Amino acid sequence: MTQALRLGIAGLGTVGVGVVKIIRRHADLLQARTGRPIEITAVSARNAKKDRGVNLSDYAWESDPVALAKRDDIDVFVELIGGENGPAKASVEAALASGKDVVTANKALLAIHGQELAEKAEAAGRVIRFEAAVAGGIPVIKSLTEGLAGNEIKRVMGVMNGTCNYILTRMQSQELGYNALFEECAELGYLEADPNLDVGGIDAAHKLALLSSIAFGTKPNFDGIQIEGIQQISLEDIHQADDMGYRIKLLGVAQRSARGLEQRMQPCLVPSTSALGQLEGGTNMVVIEGDSVEQVVLRGPGAGEGPTASAVMGDVCDLARGLQIPTFGRPATSLQDAQAAVTGLPAPYYVRLALFDKPGALAKVAAILGDAGVSIDRMRQYGHSESTAPVLIVTHKTTRATLDIALEGFSNADVVADEPVALRIEEV
């Protein structure tokens, strides 16, 4: 029989247990597909005594993941510990140094240290695979690295944090405010240990950094991403955007411009009728645009035991078949420095203002926009309160810098009651 591929699995949380279950349940199927048995040799986790609902007695136990990574009787180190430093990084480095390929679900580790680790992997003649790190069960890394390898990639974008999408779509459908839904997510266990990773846009930005690197041949540059979370999104904006034909999404977008690589993770409006606009609940969606393929839309579960373990196993099966693709789709030493650029590409914007309801207020707003060089596409005003009138404006395409001149003008005028809200409308 062909030699088995032997795994060492570090981290037995939801995903680790999911991987063990697949390997136990589908041993024959995996062997039939890859031509060799896939076996677990040893596992490691913090608590050896915990009942995880799966039989681990056939596997050696290591309390130290670095010791697991160095074992001679494993071929692939599966890192499911998490965290950008600490044991995750130490054990991945140990695995590479001792000649193991690595499969990981750790987006933070690769977004921050991906270049260094990819170079280490290459120097050792090994690879790091990380399908599970981006958009859970959606095979987006494989699509971008392999299926779309013949394309010059024009733009990659997506909704890649299920928790944020859950909150935003529940705001829309249940008439609940952000705070109530944050509490609901906490009760349901949807939030990361540090919730700011979710609602602050960081988790999704880690994922975007990895996609950008593959798409544009650049070193992962998490620090170059403009990040804005969903904490400031109000029920009023959800409703007003809906009324104008849009949905608000935490959207990650990466594209090249004349200024460099623009990467942004921020709440944006997208048309309600678009695939992104119709994305409900915790589901993820990634949209890839290439010069030949035009547009590919991938949709699926972005988290959870089964979907994430499914992605890990896709990578494990590739390694069992002998497929060795460089970490970011090309040799790590050939990746370019990403010249990070703040958003310069023009787009329409949604602007919401509360105007003092007095003669000439609207004329003043129109003049400020006109003077800044911002042209109005659509405007709507109804639902006055006692003293203020909500005004909704959709601009023609403009840059954020130009719009900021108008926003500055509003703050100096005596007609705007509250801080204006301005959100980019992404053309999708």
Residue 122 counted as an annotated binding residue: no
H, E, C per residue of the chain:
CCCCEEEEEECCCHHHHHHHHHHHHCHHHHHHHHCCCEEEEEEECCCCCCCCCCCCCCCEEECCHHHHHHCCCCCEEEECCCCCCHHHHHHHHHHHHCCCEEEECCHHHHHHHHHHHHHHHHHCCCCEECHHHCCCCCCHHHHHHHHCCCCCEEEEEEECCHHHHHHHHHHHHHCCCHHHHHHHHHHHCCCCCCCHHHHCCHHHHHHHHHHHHHHHCECCCHHHCEECCCCCCCHHHHHHHHHCCEEEEEEEEEEEECCEEEEEEEEEEEECCCCCCCCCCCEEEEEEEECCCEEEEEEEECCCHHHHHHHHHHHHHHHHHCCCCCCCCCCHHHCECCCEECCCCCECEEEEEEEECCCCHHHHHHHHHHHHCCCEEEEEECCCCCCEEEEEEEECCECHHHHHHHHHHHHHCCCECCCCEEEEECCC
Catalytic positions: 207
Question: Binding of ligand HSE at residue 302 (CB under 6 A)?
Answer: yes
Residue 116 counted as an annotated binding residue: no
Minimum CB distance to ligand HSE, residue 177 (Å): 19
Question: Binding of ligand HSE at residue 203 (CB under 6 A)?
Answer: yes
Handedness of CA 345, 252, 405, 242 (dihedral sign): positive
Question: Binding of ligand HSE at residue 265 (CB under 6 A)?
Answer: no
Minimum CB distance to ligand HSE, residue 201 (Å): 11
Q: CB-wise, 207 or 352, nearer to ligand HSE?
A: 207
Q: CB-wise, 206 or 219, nearer to ligand HSE?
A: 206
CB proximity list for 183: less than 8 A, separation 6 or greater: none
Minimum CB distance to ligand HSE, residue 163 (Å): 3
Handedness of CA 317, 313, 299, 237 (dihedral sign): negative
Question: Binding of ligand HSE at residue 192 (CB under 6 A)?
Answer: yes
Minimum CB distance to ligand HSE, residue 254 (Å): 17
- Site track for ligand HSE across 142-171, x = CB under 6 A: -------------------xxx--------
Q: Could you tell me the end-to-end alpha-carbon distance of the chain, in angstroms, rounded to an integer?
A: 50
Minimum CB distance to ligand HSE, residue 14 (Å): 10
- Select the residue interacting with ligand HSE from 303, 319, 351, 415 (CB under 6 A): 303
Q: CB-wise, 16 or 390, nearer to ligand HSE?
A: 16
Tokens of 312: 């890990």
Q: How many residues bind ligand HSE (CB under 6 A)?
A: 8
Distance CA 104, CA 101 (A): 10
Minimum CB distance to ligand HSE, residue 140 (Å): 13
Q: CB-wise, 107 or 400, nearer to ligand HSE?
A: 107
Question: Binding of ligand HSE at residue 285 (CB under 6 A)?
Answer: no
Question: Binding of ligand HSE at residue 198 (CB under 6 A)?
Answer: yes
Minimum CB distance to ligand HSE, residue 42 (Å): 26
Q: CB-wise, 163 or 212, nearer to ligand HSE?
A: 163
Question: Binding of ligand HSE at residue 255 (CB under 6 A)?
Answer: no
Annotated binding site: 107, 192
Annotated binding site for NADPH: 107
Annotated binding site for L-homoserine: 192
- List contacts with ligand HSE (CB under 6 A): 161-163, 192, 198, 203, 302-303
